[in-house]
Structures are given as C-alpha cells and as structure tokens.
Structure 1
C-alpha cells in the first residue's frame, strides 16, 4: 500500500476533490482508486480501467472485488481513519484484493461472501497495525495486509466443511520438465498475463487493458510495467520455467509490481536506480518459484509476498548505497 506521504508529488488534491464532487461521485472515485491501487497508483482513470479489466476477466470476480472495497472503505469511515488515505484508495484496495482472491480460491458460495466481508474489515485493522510496525524502518505496507488475511483464511479453510470447496486451493509447485519447448504465444501471453496477475487474472487481454491503465496513469508507470514484465518473461525462459506457467503470468506479476515500486515510486530517477530495479525484478521472479514450493505443502499461497519481500529488502538496503536515493 502506498501512503499519502509517499505519493505527495503525484497524488491528487483529494481535499479539493472532496469539496467539488457530489457525495456519490466522490465515493465512486474512492472505490475506483481501490482498484487502481492494485498497481500502486492513485489515478482515477487507471482505477477505471483496472476495474473494467477485472470485470472483463470474470464479472463475479469484479463483484467480489467491489464488495471487498466497499466494506473496507466503510470500515475505515466507521473507525475514523484519515480521509486522505480513504480518498487515495489505500484503505479499500486490500479489501478489494481479498474479495478477488477468496472468490478465485474458494468459489462463489455463501461462506465466501461472509469471509470477504470479514476479511475486508480485518484488512483495515491490518493496514493500521502494519503501518505502525513498519514505520521505524520507513518501509511501506504495500500488499502485506491482503497477504496476511487471505493467507490465514486459505490455510484455515480446510478445517471448516462449510468453507472448504473440495480439493486444494493451493497448487503444488510446478516442476520444470526438460524437453518442453516454448512457443511465441507462450511468451507474448506471458508478457500481458504478468500484468493481469496483479489482479489475480491469467487472461492476457485483461493484462492489456491494465497496461493501458498504467500508461494513462503516467508513461513512467507503463514503461516500468513493460520492463518488469519483459525481464520476468526472459528470465523465466532462460531458466527453463514451465511454459504454461510463464504464459499465465505465474512467475512475472511480482516483477511487474517491483518494477513500479522501485523504478517509479520509492527511489529517485537515475541510471543506477534503473539497474537496481532490474536486479529487483530478477530477484522477485526467482523468489516466486521458491515461495511457491515453500507454501504448497501446508495449503498456503504465494500471493504477492515475493513483491513485498523484495521491495522491503531493496528499500532497506538502499539506505546504505550512496548512488541509490530513496524518495521517501
């Protein structure tokens, strides 16, 4: 999650916006930004395209994402959370991701609606708690509230017969099989799917819509996503990752998020920053495979932990490197 202070140069003037927009329109802008924050951006039109992309991929996924965003936003209002963070979508986006993830992994059953509502409420608490815990190290919360809440729910799900849909919600690690050849389709599908997996979708056309949204948010953000996705695809291919997994964005979405976070938001522009970011993308790509193997035996999910861990590691390390400057 991006805090208001971290985004002051690029953030909208939410106080003026709140004063100038009717209540329902202002609320819709908050919810739309909750979708845009899946890519760490606050631009309303980025949010519109991300919301559109999620509904295009699967309308039920969009409904659960919207439900999570509404509940988290309402909870933040009820608890008196700073209005600036609500306006930026940073209170709603963890709930949005939680709703999407729970629908994908548990299905559209009654318990999933209840878990989405409860999870979205807990996300607001987790955002505040993690913000406080990470403040001494000047580390952003990012998507960690979503990962904590959904991770706990999925691990616990098998203990409850009215939640468990049958089968495992967590796939086993995908083992590489020697001799399987890549096709051009695997690579270009993977390039766009790396972006779509930011919203937990494997559809390449969803990623194409989201990429347009990133460029609307700012050329730098779009270019960062392009570079992050390309590096992840090429590295996965070079290391011999399973073509099917690469084509569906399994290995690349964390690299896209790392590229946006390090390359555009938290580090100052410089050639050294660009190189540092590329290394971060590579680390996140390999770490994704490692965490897939780590979480699978007990029914966990990798989610966006590789992005979180890599970004925290590289931001903490940056304070000791004179040629890498943090902007926050």
Structure 2
C-alpha cells in the first residue's frame, strides 16, 4: 500500500505509521510530500506492469526507495535538472536498479535495502551538476 511504503522508510510495515510519516513530510514541505506520493504511486504501477511480486508491493517494499529518492532529488538537492523531471527519471531508474539489485543480492540472502535509492540519487545528482571544467 502507499502508506506502508512511507512507513518502510523506518523499517515498519504500518499504514498508521505511513500516514504519520506522510503528515510529517507534508508539514515540512507540501512539494516534498507531493513528489513522494507521485513517485510512490508511479513506482507501484511500473513495478506491477513489469511483473513485480504483489506481496512485496503491498507491503511497501518497493515504496520506500522511491519516497527517499523523490524527496532527495525533487526537494532537498538543487541541480540544473527540473525537480519534477529528475523525480520522474529517478522513478524509472530506481525501478531498474531496485529490481536488478534485488535479483543480484537475493542468491546471497542479502536485501537491497536503500542501495537503489543511493545509486540513483548519486547518478542524477552528478548528472544535474554544471560541469564548468569539462572541455568539449
């Protein structure tokens, strides 16, 4: 569910916890809350279309990386890329990285945790930096 994705940020599968976290984000920033909700909903749709595990989707296991990524790229860090575009690109890239790292680490019994969020945020932050020292 949407709210369980928010609660998974704190490793807790709880609708009430997710609502509280979303309210906290909303109090801090309406823009961050909006971007986080949009990213989370888009991620559910994309993961479901790609054949993701519905139990994992319903437990919010795909939502938390997208919530964190949307807040980081769309609100916290300022880059040359429009925050809405970077959040949308982040959703697309995070889906691929999330599914890839889960597939890669699963045989070793390791969870992906926030690795997809970290990788995608770094990539898009670097892509959005103005590189004055680069010679073309």
TM range (shorter): 0.7 to 0.9
* TM-score of the aligned structures, taking structure 1 as reference length: 0.38
Aligned partner of 1:315 among 101, 104, 125? 125
Task: Work out the CA distance in 2 between the residues paired with 1:288 and 1:279.
Answer: 14
| Pairing of 1:127-138 with structure 2 (within 5 A) | none
Deviation of 1:205 after TM superposition, in Å, equals: 2.3
**Structure 2 match to 1:282:** 92
Structure 1 residues 276, 254: CA separation in 2 closer, same or farther (over 3 Å shift)?
Answer: same
The CA deviation string for residues 178-213 of structure 1, in whole angstroms up to 9 with x for no partner, is: xxxxxxxxxxxx211111111111222221111011
CA positional deviation for 1:237: 2.0
Identify the structure with bigger relative contact order (alpha carbons < 8 Å, sequence gap 6+). Answer: 2
Whole-Å Cα distance in 2 between the matches of residues 240 and 293 of structure 1? Answer: 13
1:292 aligns with 2:102: yes
Computing the radius of gyration from Cα coordinates, the structure with the larger value is: 1
Structure 2 unaligned residues grouped into runs of 5+: 132-136
219, 232, 257: which is aligned to 2:68?
257
Deviation of 1:286 after TM superposition, in Å, equals 2.4
**Aligned-partner Cα distance in 1 for 2:17–2:42:** 20
User: Structure 2 CA distance, aligned partners of 1:310 and 1:269?
Assistant: 16
Q: Is the Cα–Cα contact under 8 Å of residues 80 and 128 in structure 2 kept in the other structure?
A: no
Aligned-pair Cα RMSD in Å: 2.0
Any idea what the Cα deviations from partners look like across 1:33-59, whole Å, max 9, x if unmatched? xxxxxxxxxxxxxxxxxxxxxxxxxxx
> SS state of the match for residue 240, structure 1?
coil
Secondary structure of the corresponding residue to residue 76 of structure 2: helix
Report if the CA contact (8 A) 1:232-1:255 is conserved.
Answer: yes
Match status 1:243 vs 2:37: no
Alignment size in residue pairs: 132
Equivalent residue of 2:35, what SS?
Answer: helix
